Amino acid sequence: MENSNSIKIGGAFWGPSTPSIIIKNWALTSLPANIEQLTMLESFYLSGNRLTTLPTEIGKLCALKNLDLSYNRLTALPAEIGQLRS
């Protein structure tokens, strides 16, 4: 990871088979568009960050069952989030 305000998908930390990611209170400001590569992600905990938007690709996380976006700065959600079924 480069710093506490960004994350990198792929490589040694998170790859397609990652089932759960917890990134709480990191002051994270954005998520990368390649988040869609996390095809097996079931739980994504992002509370206490500084997210203002989400990438539209979040709607492609087919396995996602738990998504915690509490205590962020979101002003809107992408329509694609409605594609999540669980």
Instruction: Let me know if residue 5 belongs to a domain.
Output: no
Domain containing residue 42 = 20-83
Q: How many structural domains does the chain have? A: 1
Which residue ranges of the chain lie beneath pLDDT 70? 1-13, 86
pLDDT of residue 38: 93
Q: How many residues does the chain have?
A: 86
Instruction: Let me know if residue 8 belongs to a domain.
Output: no
Q: Whole-model pTM?
A: 0.84
Instruction: Let me know if residue 6 belongs to a domain.
Output: no
Instruction: Let me know if residue 77 belongs to a domain.
Output: yes
Instruction: Let me know if residue 72 belongs to a domain.
Output: yes
pLDDT of residue 6: 59
CA distances to 3, 5, 18, 20 from 41, rounded to whole Å, are: 22, 21, 6, 6
pLDDT of residue 2: 37
pLDDT of residue 4: 54
Instruction: Let me know if residue 25 belongs to a domain.
Output: yes
